Amino acid sequence: MTDNNRYNQRGVSAQKEDVHRAVAKLDKGLFPNAFCKIYPDFWGGDDAYCNLMHADGAGTKSILAYMYWQETGDISVWKGIAIDAIVMNIDDLLCVGATGPFTYSSTIGRNKHLVPGEVISEIINGTQEYFDTISQYGIDIKFLGGETADVGDVVRTIIVDGTMACRMPRQKLVTTEQMQEGDVVVSLASYGQATYESEYNSGIGSNGLTSARHELLNKVYAEKYPESVDPNLPPDVVYNGKYRLTDLTDTPLDVGKMILSPTRTYAPVVLKVLQQHFDKIHGIIHCSGGGQSKCLHYLPKPLRVVKNNLLPPPPLFKMIQESAGTDWKEMYQVFNMGQRLEIFTDKETAASIVDIASEFGIEAQISGQVDASNKKEVVIDSPYGSFIYS
């Protein structure tokens, strides 16, 4: 069975082609190539400003938190799910130059019989705690409440989402329109431990978790936690791995905590980069859904992005690949592979960005360049082969 077939049978898609078709006819906003949709200043009516609003969430990562909490009694993992929902919003908004102040509203749907009030408390209070933490690095987010719904007929365990918004000057936007031949790509590591993180981060983020969960974890969990699986899934695509959640790894984390590593925000880094180098930043890409091929969708014209010096994949991605036997080309398209944010700029500015990232304990390096081309494409030249996405 091919990896694409496994993804489809599990009800997921690496590229969400049907979603892109569904929204194809909608207004693309003020800057169609921008990473996020940018709206006019509807309420202020000021042409010098624009409005941004973004919705995202922790996805199926919440199922991992549910299982780990049930297995170990460690309720603190739910704070990580709150962080995932926040960061999947804020780091998309960073890509258009937005660094706040932001407003945030959470949306939680749960099966009350399985997910009690103390879990909801961890998520909600964990949200505010995270805002308090990153406020120390100049990122201001106001928590405006949200909705918690008991929808057991719809949600088998719990889903944690959020919506973030801000108003910002148009002259501070990063829209990818300036991405050009001669730019270099700076990749920022998703793994390690940033100065604003409390422990080692595996780098997983919040994309590809359905694949990671089923490819890594043992079949025993299908019987023990049937609520963690769509009952319509074929048994041969459910929990195919060899690991238990509490198995030790070569990192400071066990298997469960590795998969549950809270998604790293790059907000403190991007804030400082934009303060010092705004005029030299031609594009910022959040390598979430679509992995290292993500930038393909935001090229303003036919260009070739060649990534031939990516950071090495950290242990978790190697574990997933070995467990699943997934083709490396697919791995680089589904997962961030150890670098979840990339910045397009000139070589001199790139060197400064690497230094800024290091101030926050984040590894970074020039990972590639932009070349002239007659079509839009991304080339990955990795230790595991060369892959072309177009």
User: Domains plus CATH for the chain?
Assistant: 35-389 (3.90.650.10)
Query: How far apart are alpha carbons 358 and 356 in whole angstroms?
Result: 5
Give 271-303 pLDDT, tens digit per residue: 999 999 999 999 999 999 999 999 999 999 999
Give the contacts of 187 (CB within 8 A, at least 6 positions apart): 307, 310, 311, 339, 341, 342, 364, 365, 366, 367, 368
- pLDDT for the residue numbered 25: 77
* Helices of type H across 296-362: 315-324, 328-334, 347-359
| pLDDT tens digits along 72-105 | 999 999 999 999 999 999 999 999 999 999 999 9
- DSSP designation for 352: H
Residue of 125 and 23 predicted with greater confidence: 125
373-376 long-range CB contacts below 8 Å, 24 or more apart? 373/302, 373/303, 373/304, 374/302, 375/302, 375/304, 376/296, 376/299, 376/301, 376/302, 376/303, 376/304
**Digit-coded pLDDT (tens) for 154-193:** 999 999 999 999 999 999 999 999 999 999 999 999 999 9
Q: Does residue 1 have a pLDDT over 90? A: no
- C-alpha 192/C-alpha 357 separation (Å) is 12
Q: What is the pTM of this model?
A: 0.94
- Tens digit of each residue's pLDDT (9 = 90 or more) over 183-224: 999 999 999 999 999 999 999 999 999 999 999 999 999 999
- The answer to whether residues 68 and 49 touch, using CB atoms and an 8 Å cutoff, is no
Q: What's the rounded mean pLDDT across residues 358-379? A: 98
> Is 65 within 8 Å of 77 (Cβ atoms)?
yes
